[in-house]
Amino acid sequence: MIDADAYAAARRAFDAKTKPRDSLGRIEELGCRLAGIRGFVPERLEAAIVVAAGDHGVAAEGVSAYPQEVTAQMVANFASGGAAINVLARQAGARLVVVDAGVAVPFEHESVRSLRIGAGTANLAIGPAMTDGECRAALAAGRALVEELGDVDVIALGEMGIGNTTAASALTAALLDLEPALVCGRGTGLDDEGLAKKIDTARRALVANVGGDPLTALGGFEIAFLAGVAIGCAERRVAVLLDGFITTAAALAAVRIEPAVADVLIASHRSPEPGHARALEALGLEPLLDLGLRLGEASGAALALPLLHASIALLRDMATFADAGVTDAGR
Amino acid sequence: MIDADAYAAARRAFDAKTKPRDSLGRIEELGCRLAGIRGFVPERLEAAIVVAAGDHGVAAEGVSAYPQEVTAQMVANFASGGAAINVLARQAGARLVVVDAGVAVPFEHESVRSLRIGAGTANLAIGPAMTDGECRAALAAGRALVEELGDVDVIALGEMGIGNTTAASALTAALLDLEPALVCGRGTGLDDEGLAKKIDTARRALVANVGGDPLTALGGFEIAFLAGVAIGCAERRVAVLLDGFITTAAALAAVRIEPAVADVLIASHRSPEPGHARALEALGLEPLLDLGLRLGEASGAALALPLLHASIALLRDMATFADAGVTDAGR
């Protein structure tokens, strides 16, 4: 799926620039990878950030430090421009698309795309979070959004949903065949008791949904939607910039549906959630940042976007040894 | 030196924002630290990048993959806007100041500040690189530049000088009392033989200059100049954003002269040079990026600048729980 010619063209271009070979390390690798994904060396990088929100029936188990109403409150905050991702999207010069994929209480606002699959998922601790039809609809909505966004080079994924680290933990445990205690973390701020409850909830979810499709049974509306966005990106050779644990779990599920997704993924950061490191490793991804970020909302992806822009700007604007009359040591 | 009130004010501001406490990890720490350095929470961050170039007599020992003429060629490349740092400074929206601190052959250009201490240093493998007067003059020129730059919040340090990883290695070994083999690396691309020669050269330098002032004996014009910039920043409560090994060695020397420098340092990245990790550890600094960067020119610092800008933009623009009507779980 990676276009070897475009990758090699970017590699040759970097090697001709006035700097020792490979001295910009992972920034050069990033530029080559973006070229390989797109199939050409982009002149500039058009970036969109898609933040999908959804509610989770599993919130009833008391697995979050925050009450469920916060999902809708944060969508309102995205709409009025006051959340971290609003600030970071502006800083990164990226278009921000906020999607209601199934918040419990609908929120009508011109800056929120209503692609609601339902009013929150069912409680995955006692049965499937979604029906087959709901999961299919969420995937299709994600794919359709990529088509609608048109000529973008990279889409950064983000999410909001109280309870969704529990869904991502159960989903990752199922997909990677891991014990829930190895993937569950403190999310947005659980204490020891809360973490124990979360692990127990994920264990019960795996038992209650044994044999079911992992994404349908253990995912969420926003998670399946983002998996659909990743599949749409693979179809259109658009790079996917992952954020934290939940978006990476969505990518893991997407790769099971469409293996070509693996080729378009770029990991922005590694969060302190233990499941995130496991999921990144399974996807063969080395993140760009490791800054203790655990907010979600695509905040880590937005913080990494300038590195992607820099890689393409260097390819476009740096002088070559020949242009600049600089002696090339050839290494 | 860190202003505890300003640091605490930034901490309180972050805690009131619509996100779980500390969920933006090191980005929050960065905003607090910038406030603590400046003595107030900046509304926005005015950044300058100072790249100082100098030649090194030790280049005669064959310790670089590149010939000495490349220093002057790269200064010309900076002047015509084709080097990596030109591209990255534009991307980061930072002012770029290129300083000739002592290139072997002077280069006259309106965009290069001529603050020449001499036409390259003496060979530190056989005696002191600089005279006491030259080192003092370089330090003073660095301090004076900070005064001239006026109301900036952060100055990113960068350098260019064929042979200067050998100088930085000898200087770091002397300052930290380490065996040269522990600090010497491949610089811009040495092979095994080149690395062995570099280690031998650093060892001879330590013997030849035993008892001398480390910065004077083992530094370089651009290294002493950048140490002066760091001292000037400490005097004026301006943050210093370090780049790679050479700028960090300069900071290490600056801290020996003026201990308050330690409080204004921020490490942008960790390079593969083994001495860099040692110097960062000695300064108690944890870098923001780890991307295999080994170009110098302030390229790593410029790549980290957007993270500093983001930390301040979040402090300025994010809504509080109270503003946005979001339920605060208090953790």
DSSP letters for B92-159 = HT-EEEEEEEE-SS----TTEEE--SSSS---TTTS-SS-HHHHHHHHHHHHHHHHHH-S-SEEEEEE
Global pTM reads: 0.98
Is residue B281 classed as helix, strand or coil in its secondary structure?
A: helix
Rounded CA separation A161/A167 (Å): 10
Identify which of B189, B288, B309 has the shortest CB distance to residue A291: B288
C-alpha neighbours within 13 Å on the C-beta side of residue B13? 23
Query: Measured between beta carbons, which residues in chain A are less than 8 angstroms from residue B318?
Result: 82-84, 86-87
Q: What's the mean pLDDT in A47-74?
A: 96
Residue closest to A320 by CA, chosen among B245, B87, B282? B87
Pairwise CB contact (< 8 Å): B25 & A76:
no
Quick count: other Cβ atoms within 10 Å of Cβ A108? Answer: 8
The pLDDT of residue A192: 95
Pairwise CB contact (< 8 Å): B84 & A290:
no
Task: Kindly give the parts of chain B with pLDDT less than 70.
Answer: none
Beta-strand (E) ranges in chain A?
Answer: 47-54, 95-102, 112-114, 154-160, 239-242, 265-267
Interface test with B, best of A73, A77, A269, A315 (most B CBs within 10 A): A77
The pLDDT of residue B310: 98
Length of chain A: 331
Q: B222 versus A65: which is more confidently predicted?
A: B222
Alpha-carbon gap: A105 to the closest alpha carbon of chain B (Å): 15
Q: Considering only A145-149, A326-330, B260-264, which range has the smallest mean pLDDT?
A: A326-330
Quick check: is A297 catalytic? yes
Note the pLDDT tens digit of each residue in A259-274: 999 999 999 999 999 9
Which amino acid, residue A46?
Answer: E
Q: What's the mean pLDDT in A238-257?
A: 98
Pairwise CB contact (< 8 Å): A189 & B21:
yes
Q: Give the rounded distance of the alpha carbon of B82 from its chain centre.
A: 21
Rounded CA separation A281/B303 (Å): 25
Q: Between β-strands B47-54 and A154-160, what pairing exists: parallel, antiparallel or unpaired?
A: unpaired
Note the pLDDT tens digit of each residue in A161-200: 999 999 999 999 999 999 999 999 998 889 999 999 999 9
The pLDDT of residue A189: 87
Note the pLDDT tens digit of each residue in A267-300: 999 999 999 999 999 999 999 999 999 999 999 9
Rounded CA separation B301/A71 (Å): 37
Q: What's the mean pLDDT in A289-317?
A: 98
Q: Residue A159 corresponds to which tokens in the numbers above?
A: 């999410």
The pLDDT of residue B154: 98
Phi, psi (deg, nearest 5) at residue B60: -60, -20
Report chain A's mean pLDDT, rounded to a whole number: 97
Which DSSP helix (H) or strand (E) runs through A87?
helix A84-92
Note the pLDDT tens digit of each residue in A90-134: 999 999 999 999 999 998 899 999 999 999 999 999 999 999 999
The pLDDT of residue A107: 84
Pairwise CB contact (< 8 Å): B23 & A295:
yes
Q: Residue A175 corresponds to which tokens in the numbers above?
A: 């997909």
The pLDDT of residue B188: 83
Edge-first strand listing for the sheet containing A112-114: A112-114, A95-102, A47-54, A154-160, A239-242, A265-267
Q: Give the rounded distance of the alpha carbon of B146 from its chain centre.
A: 14
Which DSSP helix (H) or strand (E) runs through A6?
helix A4-16
The pLDDT of residue B41: 96
Q: What's the mean pLDDT in A302-313?
A: 98
Q: Between β-strands B154-160 and B239-242, what pairing exists: parallel, antiparallel or unpaired?
A: parallel
Beta-carbon contacts below 8 Å between A and B:
191
Which domains are delineated in chain B? 4-43+314-324 (1.10.1610.10), 47-307 (3.40.50.10210)
Alpha-carbon gap: A62 to the closest alpha carbon of chain B (Å): 13
Note the pLDDT tens digit of each residue in A27-36: 999 999 999 9
Pairwise CB contact (< 8 Å): B77 & A324:
yes
Edge-first strand listing for the sheet containing B239-242: B112-114, B95-102, B47-54, B154-160, B239-242, B265-267
Rounded CA separation B232/B256 (Å): 14
Is-contact A54 A103, C-beta < 8 A?
yes
The pLDDT of residue A331: 80
The pLDDT of residue B133: 98
The pLDDT of residue B57: 98
Q: pLDDT band for position A330 (50/70/90)? A: confident
